[in-house]
Amino acid sequence: MELDHHVVVLGAGYTGMFAAIRLARRTRRTGVRITLVNPSARFTERLRLHQVAAGQELAHLRIADLVAGTGIAFVRGRATAIDPDGRTVTIDDGTRLDYDTLVYALGSATDTSRVPGADVHAFTLNSPQVAVRFHDRLDGLAAGDTVTVCGGGLTGVEAATEVAEARPDLNVTLISATEPGAMMGDRARAHLHGSLRRLGVAVVVGRVTEVLADAVELETGERVASAACLWTTGVAVSPLARESGIAVDDRGLIVVDATLRSVSHPEVHAIGDAAAVRLGWGRVHGTCQSGLPTAQHTADTIARLLRGKQARPFRFGYFHQPVSLGRRDAVIQFTHADDTPRRAYLKGRAAVLYKEFVSGSPVKMYRLGKRVNVSTIVSKGGRATREPAAAR
């Protein structure tokens, strides 16, 4: 079968990379062309950016090396416009790419626009470069200086513990609107708080209203001294889909049908953090855990459609919340499909090994996926414990 079909994958993050490699494997020797577009030549291991913030160096992974031998064409550039009716993408150097099928995998970034001063005075984990700049700032701090980490979600907890472990001479304060680890079960949460105490991380529960050059202000009016601030809360997605006339939700995520195809433009498939995915138990929130299965499903869907078969509905359920607590401790909360906690959890050494396996497995999957049809571990979504989706 010799097909004249061009698939453009926008974004070579966790999901775009997996979708491209799996699709190349599924459509090998069919004549299908795949082009992968990404602004940097280096693959960013976002799951490890808190490690970079604490001064660790990551492996230098080149996208061209990861896709070598697959036939995928890598284009270094940033997509600046999509014409979904003319089926073209414009890249920032002016190049235009025609496509038959588009995979939209632009991910998300921490949103610093909602709280005054955050965009000026706070650092983020949005790229390795910014994470390195934060670490450079830490390098310039003296013993006893306070570092604030805003956002008590899992990324904030991972960053605060990583920094506290690397720089025990600094005062690390984790500021969170709700109790850190609130989404976990009692025992996993107790372990998480024990680790925060052991590492000397102070926890302040309160809402940040402003980030200043030397402090963080809370809605109570209280000010927490801050020689360096790391912002980890709230996400925003690229405006590209909205600006291009592709149907998006109120957050700018592409609205997809049950098979992960855009409801306005079915030849556009959206995956990862940039897709608004709803399942029987509720809304999927952006994680690598859910993103990789969307990539796998989309590669398989495109391959099926090219063979003249019907697309199948996407099914997924969460199964864990893996959290590193520095390099020597971690906690894994096992979950129901809707991400609510089960009784089971892991802590200590076993959890460290588990977490490292989770963080390292995408790149291993890409390498293996060039030779065999490798699948991510997918829980198809069992019984949820929260109220039905319709009630939300």
Ligand X SMILES: Cc1cc2nc3c(=O)[nH]c(=O)nc-3n(C[C@H](O)[C@H](O)[C@H](O)COP(=O)(O)OP(=O)(O)OC[C@H]3O[C@@H](n4cnc5c(N)ncnc54)[C@H](O)[C@@H]3O)c2cc1C
- State the minimum distance, in angstroms, from the CB of residue 271 to ligand X: 7
Q: In the numeric block, which tokens belong to residue 151? A: 């956002």
In this chain, which of 7, 32, 54, 79 binds ligand X, going by CB under 6 A? 79
The conformational region for residue 135 under phi > 0 = left, psi -120 to 50 = alpha, else beta, is: alpha
Strands 215-218 and 223-225: antiparallel
Helix, strand, coil percent content, the chain, rounded in steps of 5: 30, 25, 45
In this chain, which of 22, 25, 33, 50 binds ligand X, going by CB under 6 A? 50
DSSP H or E run through 240 = helix 240-243
Q: Does 10 bind ligand X (CB under 6 A)?
A: yes
- State the minimum distance, in angstroms, from the CB of residue 142 to ligand X: 26
- State the minimum distance, in angstroms, from the CB of residue 29 to ligand X: 27
- State the minimum distance, in angstroms, from the CB of residue 222 to ligand X: 27
Binding-site size for ligand X (CB under 6 A) equals: 34
In this chain, which of 7, 8, 14, 160 binds ligand X, going by CB under 6 A? 14
Q: Does 106 bind ligand X (CB under 6 A)?
A: yes
Q: Does 115 bind ligand X (CB under 6 A)?
A: no
The residue ranges of DSSP E strands in 271-361, in sequence order, are 275-276, 278-279, 282-283, 320-324, 330-335, 341-347
Q: Does 105 bind ligand X (CB under 6 A)?
A: yes
Q: Does 49 bind ligand X (CB under 6 A)?
A: yes
Q: Does 381 bind ligand X (CB under 6 A)?
A: no
Q: Does 112 bind ligand X (CB under 6 A)?
A: no
Identify which of residues 274 and 279 has a Cβ nearer to ligand X in the complex.
274
| Cα 310 to Cα 80, 158, 259, 304, distances in angstroms | 32, 42, 10, 7
| DSSP calls for 70-137 | TTPEEEES-EEEEETTTTEEEETTS-EEE-SEEEE----EE--SSSTTHHHHEE-SSSHHHHHHHHHH
CB-closest chain residue to ligand X: 13
Query: For residues 129-188, which are near ligand X according to CB under 6 A?
Result: 155, 158
CB 51 within 8 A of CB 161: no
- State the minimum distance, in angstroms, from the CB of residue 377 to ligand X: 12
- State the minimum distance, in angstroms, from the CB of residue 286 to ligand X: 4
Q: Does 21 bind ligand X (CB under 6 A)?
A: no
Identify which of residues 162 and 217 has a Cβ nearer to ligand X in the complex.
162
CA distance 121 to 262: 37
Q: Does 288 bind ligand X (CB under 6 A)?
A: yes
Identify which of residues 109 and 218 has a Cβ nearer to ligand X in the complex.
109
Q: Does 272 bind ligand X (CB under 6 A)?
A: yes
Query: Buried (b) or exposed (e) across 91-119, using 16+ Cβ within 10 A?
Result: beeeeebebbbbbbbbbbbbbbeebebbe
Phi, psi of 371 (to 5 degrees): -105, -30
Listed ranges 6-14, 20-28, 164-172, 194-202: which one lies at the site for ligand X (CB under 6 A): 6-14
Q: Does 78 bind ligand X (CB under 6 A)?
A: yes
CA distance 93 to 76: 10
> Which residues of the shown chain bind ligand X in the complex (CB under 6 A)?
10-16, 37-39, 44, 46-47, 49-50, 78-79, 105-107, 125, 155, 158, 238, 240, 272-274, 286-289, 291, 322
